[in-house]
Amino acid sequence: MLKVFVCVIRRDLLLAFRRRSDMLTTLFFFVIVTTLFPLGVGAEPALLRNMASGILWVAALLASTLSLGRMFAQDFADGALEQLLLSPEPLTVIVIGKVFSHWLVSGLPLVILAPLLAMQFDLPGISIAVLLLSLLIGTPILSLLGAIGAALTLGARGGSVLIALLVLPLYIPVLIFGTGAVGALANGMEAEAHLLLLTGLLAVVAALAPWATSAALRIAIE
């Protein structure tokens, strides 16, 4: 199973780097959205600090949603998904590999860019560290939940819009806990509670989402 897991990740990463424009679109969207907000609301430092975590989290959430439609679509179009379903290894292992590779391409770059973009909001160093940690915990949840939406809308007309309608309501707890961690720190409280809740949510989603995605993929193929 480990060999299959590694092969799926390596294959998806290779395909992603061959289509670098798709990956760069997600990054540019994240950068542009977070950069436009300070220009639109003004240069008041206190206002920017209060809005920073919400803006960065919403931008990361929307940027992650842009790439969900490509998670299974190409494999579905060229028949590779059917071959993966015929594999003797559990489908959940393959799904976890594809979700992990999606996070490496679409989620991890956002986490890396976030501290740099947070500087334009005049966030203190400790708040940037908490924001980075919350994104590091939260972005895998976005990929896991997004995989369910991508599998349910596989082959459907207007699938990208349907994915957004399905997964955006599920992203609300992640958004609340992620922004709440930085907000609690700004109000003089501990951010640990929000980060622990975010970690617990990651554990629950990691246990259940691959099974739900696998079932949705089998239904789509049938």
Top mean-pLDDT range of 1-15, 43-57, 121-135: 121-135
Is a pLDDT exceeding 70 seen at residue 16?
yes
Is a pLDDT exceeding 70 seen at residue 100?
yes
Is a pLDDT exceeding 90 seen at residue 198?
yes
Lowest mean pLDDT among 9-13, 141-145, 158-162: 158-162
Residue 157 confidence (pLDDT): 67
| pLDDT, average across residues 136-146 | 92
Give the C-alpha separation, 25 to 102, whole Å.
14
Residue 158 confidence (pLDDT): 60
Domain of 196, in residue numbers: 2-221
Is a pLDDT exceeding 80 seen at residue 222?
no
| pLDDT, average across residues 111-130 | 88
| pLDDT, average across residues 166-174 | 90
Residue in this structure with the two tokens 């160093």, named with its chain if needed:
125
Is a pLDDT exceeding 90 seen at residue 164?
no
Lowest mean pLDDT among 15-29, 50-64, 156-170: 156-170
Give the C-alpha separation, 144 to 148, whole Å.
7
Lowest mean pLDDT among 4-13, 40-49, 121-130: 40-49
Residue 203 confidence (pLDDT): 94
Residue 79 confidence (pLDDT): 73
Enumerate residues 6+ apart whose C-beta is below 8 A from 110.
26, 27, 30, 60, 63, 64, 135, 139
Mean pLDDT of the chain: 85
Report the domain count for the chain: 1
Token code pair at residue 63: 């940027």
